[in-house]
Amino acid sequence: MTTWGYARREATKRFFEKPYTIHYPFTDIKAFEGYRGRILLQLSKCVGCGLCARVCPASAIEMVADEKIKPAGKRPHFKLAECCYCALCAEYCPKGAIQLTTDYHLYGFEKEDVVEEVKTE
Amino acid sequence: MTFNLFFGPIHPALKEPIGFIFEIEGEYVVNARPNLGFNHRGIEKLLESKTWLQTGFLAEHVCGICSGAHNGCCYQGVEKIFEIEPPRRGLFIRTLVWELERIHSHLLWLGVMLHEAGFDTIFMYTWRDRELTMDLFEEMSGRRVVYSMNTVGGVRRDVTDAFLQKLKKYCNYLEERVKFYRELVMSDATTLARFQNVGILTKRDAIDLSAVGPTTRGSGVKKDVRYEEPYGVYDESPFQIVVREEGDALAKTIVRIDEIQVSIDILRWIADNIPSGEIKIKFSPMAKAPENEAISRVEAPRGELLYYFKSDGGITPSRVKIRTPTLANILPIIKMVEGQYIADIPVIVASIDPCIACCERVTMIDHKTGESKVMTMNDLRIYSRKWYKEHYKEVRRERL
Q: What is the mean pLDDT of chain A?
A: 88
Distance from the Cα of A12 to chain B's closest Cα (Å) equals 15
Say if residues B237 and B267 touch (Cβ distance below 8 Å): no
- Interface contact A3-B156, CB threshold 8 A: no
The domain made up of B3-39+333-399 has a fold known as: Enolase-like; domain 1 (3.30.390)
Neighbour tally for A26: CB within 10 Å = 6
Residue B210's closest CA among B106, B329, B323? Answer: B329
**CB atoms inside a 10 Å sphere around CB B149:** 29
CA angle B319, B322, B323 (to 5 degrees): 140
Measured between beta carbons, which residues in chain A are less than 8 angstroms from residue B184? Answer: 6
Is B162 an interface residue toward A (CB < 8 Å)? no
Answer whether B58 sits within 8 Å of A57, measured CB to CB: yes
In order of B43, B247, B256, B261, the CA distances from B243 in angstroms are 34, 10, 10, 13
Q: Residue B107: which H helix or E strand, with range?
A: helix B88-116
Domain ranges of chain A: 31-119
Record: contact B57-A84, CB cut-off 8 A: yes
On chain A, the residues whose CB falls within 8 A of the CB of B156 are 87, 91
**Helix count and strand count (H, E) for chain B:** 14, 10
CB contact under 8 A, A36 and B143: yes
Cβ under 8 Å to B: A residues 20-59: 20, 31-32, 34-36, 54-55, 57-58
> What is the arithmetic mean of pLDDT over A54-76?
90
Do A34 and B157 make contact, defined as CB atoms within 8 angstroms?
yes
The distance of A92 to chain B (nearest Cα, Å) reads 9
Q: Which residues from chain B sit within 8 angstroms of residue A31, using beta carbons?
A: 138
- Which contiguous run of DSSP H or E holds residue B259? helix B249-273
Cβ of A87 within 8 Å of Cβ of B148? The answer is yes
The answer to whether B334 faces chain A, any CB pair under 8 Å, is: no
CA separation for the pair B159, B161 (Å, rounded): 7
Nearest residue in chain A measured CA to CA from B151: A88
Sequence ranges of the domains in chain B: 3-39+333-399, 43-323
Please indicate if any CB of chain A lies within 8 Å of the CB of B188. Answer: yes
Alpha helices in B142-212 (DSSP H): 161-187, 189-195, 203-208
Q: Between A35, A85, A88, which is nearest B138 by CB?
A: A35
Sequential pLDDT tens for chain B (400 residues): 666 766 555 433 335 667 777 888 888 888 888 877 666 778 888 899 999 999 999 998 888 888 899 999 999 999 999 999 999 999 999 999 999 999 999 999 999 888 888 888 889 999 999 999 999 999 999 999 899 999 999 999 999 999 999 999 999 999 999 999 999 888 888 888 889 889 899 999 999 999 999 999 999 999 999 999 999 899 999 999 999 999 999 999 999 999 999 999 999 999 999 999 999 999 998 899 999 999 999 999 989 999 999 999 999 999 998 888 888 888 898 899 888 888 888 888 888 877 653 333 344 445 555 555 556 667 777 877 888 888 877 777 776 6
State which H helix or E strand residue B135 sits in: helix B120-141
Would the CB atoms of B142 and A84 count as touching at under 8 Å? no
The amino acid present at B233, given as its one-letter code, is: V
Chain A contact for B120 (CB, 8 A cutoff): no
Helices (H) and strands (E) in chain A, counts: 3, 5
Provide the pLDDT for residue B140: 92
The per-residue DSSP string of A63-92 comes to EEE-TTSTTTSEEEEEBTTT-----HHHHH
- Hey, are the CB atoms on B142 and A58 less than 8 Å from each other? no
Query: How far apart, in whole angstroms, are the C-alpha atoms of residue B77 and residue B72?
Result: 9
Q: For residue A96, what are the CA distances in angstroms to A56, A73, A104, B131?
A: 16, 18, 21, 33
- Interface A–B counts its CB contacts (< 8 A) at 54
Domain A31-119 of CATH type 3.30.365.10: no
**CA dist A50 to A67, A73, A74, B201, Å?**
15, 11, 8, 56
Torsion over CA: B61, B65, B68, B69 (sign): negative
Quote the pLDDT of residue B16.
60
Nearest CA in chain B to A11: B121
pLDDT digits (tens, 9 = 90+) for A6-44: 778 888 988 888 888 888 889 888 888 889 999 999 999
- CATH number corresponding to B43-323: 1.10.645.10
Which residues between 7 and 66 in chain B have a beta carbon less than 8 angstroms from any beta carbon of chain A? 50, 53-54, 57-58, 61
Mutate to test the interface with B, among A6, A32, A83 (most CBs of B within 10 A): A32
> What residue in B sits closest to A1 (Cα-Cα)?
B187
Instruction: Determine contact: A106 vs chain B, CB below 8 A.
Output: no
Between A4 and B14, residue with greater pLDDT: A4
Is residue B176 less than 8 Å (CB to CB) from chain A? no
